[in-house]
């Protein structure tokens, strides 16, 4: 604790310097960006932001969350079988969809007049808060009181890739920075021996939106997510090549550093000093990354808790990894799981009844464990967890090309879906927003993906409207031109 005061002072100083730097270097609004971003202005002093773009920075105000774990269920699970309980929909099961639901609407695959389909799950009220949850996520029920559900989410993209892009970058088109990029750009990272922004995909399969979902867009590429690999080394080129052991690596880095110091003496280029520290950091990263990525040393009860599968690639393993990463100070961790696209076509695995139950069983325990584990370590308060997908699913059964599917499936749905948040800055045991009796559209407190982004930014300490970057003549921000912080879910 003795250093806390000093640290704060230092942070404040750094913040002031930065503000000064912003003011002095501008010729207009937000002109700090681009070329001068990584370099100081009119000063020869080596401040940390010169040599290291990822050094910790202060946000607009003190945010409650220090880091974010974003759990994305790519493909989009059905909210109607998980969190948005609609008994009335059951009564309409098998009936033709009313024309008002279809007029002027476009669906990815539904054609003609589909039939309504009741929830394919049992619901019950759980926890002190009495949240309605289905039996598909039995473990998660135990932490219901830590969660804020957002039930009237909507988006305007009904295809996976554009909807995922919109959710993570604020635009359905390619080219914008992702949420994690904004976060690391604005906050830097707490641990310089690890990348500040890491991405874990189940089974190494990328989501439809591709790397752009953790891409840096028009921000410098240093802020993009580093994808952890499911085969070979955990981060590309992190391991020493065969035949080079740590001692040899140390000798080479020492030699590089010594010679670079010579170069600095000669040219006095601050860039050279930066390079020296980057090589030293790379060397440390080579130890830290494999260490933190190695879950085998975790105690048995932790493995049991998460339901990890050692030696295999699993979402549960990634959840445990996510905990380890935020524990080490990684700013933003994004998990992508796949196989949630419950169209019901082709096989039972993709239906919303048994298929979805099976799918849920691969994540339920791990997600619950993640919340509990963070809590027992006192990290939940400063770690924001977001669970969700790119859109929801229709209350109607899918009838691809006009014919009923062999298995019970639902089409992509933009008008209503559920996202939940927990941890840093978020109230527990709360539910925000409401959909109509069949779960077709939000009727109270509709929440856009921009609102969600604004809330994430708020939890991290940013006013999303002022957190901008000039590009092509516009001050771009994550939330584009809209977004309101969801005040009621804040703790």
Partner 1 sequence: MNTNKLLFISSIIIIGGYSVYSFLGEGNKVNYSTEVKPILNKHCIACHGGVKKQGGFSLLFREEALGKTESGKPAIIPGDAKHSEFIIRLTHKDPEERMPLKKEPLKKEEIEILTKWVNEGANWGEHWAFVKPEMPKVPNKGFFAGLLSWFSSKWEKNDIDYFVKNKLDEEGLSPSKQAEKSILLRRVCLDLTGLPPTEKQIQDFLKDDADNAYEKVVDSLLASPQYGERWAGMWLDMARYSDTKGYEKDEGRNIWQYRDYVIKAFNKDLPYNQFIKEQLAGDLLKNPTEEQYIATAFHRNTVNNDEGGTDDEEFRNATMVDRVNTTWEVFQSTTFACVQCHSHPYDPIRHEDYYKSMAFFYNTRDEDIPDDSPYLRQFTKPEDKAKLTDLQHWIKNNVGSAKEQEISHYLTFLEPKIHPHSGDQFINGALADTKYLGIRNGGSVRFKSLPLTGKRQLLVAYGNKTGSPTLMEIRLGSLTGKVLTTIKLDTTRKGGWTNSWDYQLYDLPKMDGRQDWYLTFKNAKVKPDQSTCIIGSFTLLPEFPGRGRADYAEKKKEFLALVSANTENTPVMLDSPKEYARQTHVWERGNWLAKTKVVQPDIPASLGKLPQNAPKNRLGLALWLGSKENPLTARVAVNRFWEQVFGTGLVETLEDFGTQGFTPTNAALLDFLAVKFMDEYQWKPKKLLKEIVMSATYQQDSKANQDLLAKDPMNRLLARGPRVRLSAEQIRDQALLVSGLLSKKMYGKSVMPYQPEGIWNTPYSSMAWKTSENEDQHRRALYTYWRRSTPYPSMITFDGANRDICLARRIRTNTPLQALVTLNDPVYLECAKHLAKKMDKVGGTLDEQISSTYQFTMCKTISEKKLAVLKRLYSTTFQTYQKNRAEAEKLLNICPDDNIKPKNIPDLAAKTLVASTLLNLDEFIMKE
Binders of partner 1 among residues 316 to 355 (CB under 8 A) are 338
- Binding status of residue 237 toward partner 1 by CB under 8 A: yes
When binding is defined by CB under 8 A, the residue of 19, 268, 377, 444 that contacts partner 1 is 268
Whole-number Å distance between alpha carbons of 205 and 208: 9
Q: Which helix (H) or strand (E) holds 326?
A: helix 315-327
Nearer to partner 1, 40 or 361 (CB): 40
Nearer to partner 1, 239 or 361 (CB): 239
Give 107-142 as a DSSP string: -SSB-S--BB---SS-EEEETTTTEEEETTSTTGGG
End-to-end Cα distance, the chain: 26
Tell me if residue 211 falls in helix, strand or coil.
helix
- Binding status of residue 222 toward partner 1 by CB under 8 A: yes
- Binding status of residue 109 toward partner 1 by CB under 8 A: yes
**Cα dihedral 151/332/199/144 (nearest 10):** -30
- Binding status of residue 270 toward partner 1 by CB under 8 A: yes
- Stretch touching partner 1 by CB under 8 A, among 1-9, 131-139, 201-209, 413-421: 201-209
What phi and psi, each to the nearest 5 degrees, are found at residue 400? -50, 130
Nearer to partner 1, 263 or 354 (CB): 263
Which residues from 28-67 bind partner 1, rule CB under 8 A?
28-29, 31, 34-40, 42-44, 51, 53-54
Name the token pair of 456.
């994430």
Nearer to partner 1, 265 or 301 (CB): 265
- Stretch touching partner 1 by CB under 8 A, among 129-137, 273-281, 353-361, 383-391: 273-281
CB of 243 to partner 1, least distance (A): 3
Tell me if residue 88 falls in helix, strand or coil.
helix
Whole-number Å distance between alpha carbons of 113 and 219: 45
When binding is defined by CB under 8 A, the residue of 91, 96, 267, 377 that contacts partner 1 is 267
- Stretch touching partner 1 by CB under 8 A, among 81-89, 133-141, 200-208, 423-431: 200-208
When binding is defined by CB under 8 A, the residue of 55, 471, 484, 490 that contacts partner 1 is 471
Which residues from 243-262 bind partner 1, rule CB under 8 A?
243-245, 247-249, 251-252, 255-256, 258-260, 262
**Cα dihedral 413/415/418/420 (nearest 10):** 120
Which residues from 399-428 bind partner 1, rule CB under 8 A?
401-403, 412
Nearer to partner 1, 74 or 121 (CB): 74
Which residues from 64-103 bind partner 1, rule CB under 8 A?
none
What phi and psi, each to the nearest 5 degrees, are found at residue 71? -100, 105
Instruction: Give the residue among 367, 415, 424, 365 at the shortest CA–CA distance from 393.
Output: 415
Task: Supply angle C-alpha 334, 340, 346, rounded to 5.
Answer: 150
Name the token pair of 7.
């640290």
């Amino acid at each position: 604790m003795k250093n806390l005061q000093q640290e704060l002072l230092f942070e404040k100083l750094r913040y002031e310097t930065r503000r000064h730097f912003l003011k002095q270097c501008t010729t207009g609004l937000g002109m700090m960006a681009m070329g001068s971003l990584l370099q100081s202005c009119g000063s020869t002093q080596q401040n940390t932001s010169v040599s290291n773009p990822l050094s910790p920075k202060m946000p607009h105000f003190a945010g409650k969350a220090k880091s974010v774990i974003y759990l994305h269920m790519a493909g989009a699970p059905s909210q109607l079988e998980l969190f948005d309980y609609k008994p009335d929909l059951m009564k309409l099961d098998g009936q033709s969809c009313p024309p008002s639901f279809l007029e002027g609407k476009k669906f990815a695959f539904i054609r003609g007049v589909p039939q309504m389909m009741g929830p394919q799950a049992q619901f019950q009220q759980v926890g002190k808060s009495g949240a309605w949850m289905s039996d598909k996520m039995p473990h998660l029920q135990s932490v219901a009181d830590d969660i804020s559900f957002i039930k009237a989410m909507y988006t305007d993209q009904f295809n996976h890739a554009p909807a995922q892009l919109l959710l993570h970058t604020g635009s359905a088109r390619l080219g914008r920075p992702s949420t994690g990029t904004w976060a690391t750009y604005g906050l830097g990272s707490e641990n310089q021996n690890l990348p500040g922004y890491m991405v874990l995909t189940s089974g190494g399969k990328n989501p439809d939106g591709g790397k752009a979902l953790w891409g840096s867009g028009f921000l410098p590429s240093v802020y993009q997510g580093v994808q952890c690999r499911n085969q070979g080394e955990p981060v590309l080129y992190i391991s020493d090549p065969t035949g080079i052991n740590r001692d040899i690596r140390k000798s080479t880095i020492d030699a590089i550093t010594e010679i670079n110091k010579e170069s600095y003496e000669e040219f006095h280029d601050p860039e050279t000093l930066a390079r020296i520290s980057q090589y030293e950091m790379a060397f440390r990263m080579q130890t830290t990354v494999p260490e933190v990525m190695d879950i085998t040393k975790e105690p048995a009860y932790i493995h049991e808790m998460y339901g990890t599968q050692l030696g295999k690639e699993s979402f549960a393993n990634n959840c445990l990894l996510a905990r380890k990463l935020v524990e080490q100070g990684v700013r933003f961790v994004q998990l992508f799981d796949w196989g949630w696209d419950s169209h019901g076509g082709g096989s039972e695995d993709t239906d919303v009844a048994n298929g979805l139950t099976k799918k849920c069983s691969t994540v339920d325990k791990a997600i619950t464990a993640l919340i509990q584990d963070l809590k027992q370590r006192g990290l939940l308060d400063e770690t924001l967890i977001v669970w969700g997908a790119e859109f929801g699913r229709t209350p109607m059964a899918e009838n691809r090309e006009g014919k009923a599917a062999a298995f019970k499936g639902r089409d992509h749905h933009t008008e209503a879906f559920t996202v939940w948040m927990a941890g840093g800055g978020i109230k527990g045991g709360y539910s925000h927003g409401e959909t109509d009796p069949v779960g077709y559209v939000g009727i109270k407190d509709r929440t856009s993906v921009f609102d969600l982004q604004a809330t994430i930014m708020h939890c991290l300490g940013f006013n999303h409207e002022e957190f901008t970057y000039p590009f092509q003549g516009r001050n771009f921000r994550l939330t584009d031109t809209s977004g309101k912080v969801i005040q009621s879910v804040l703790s």
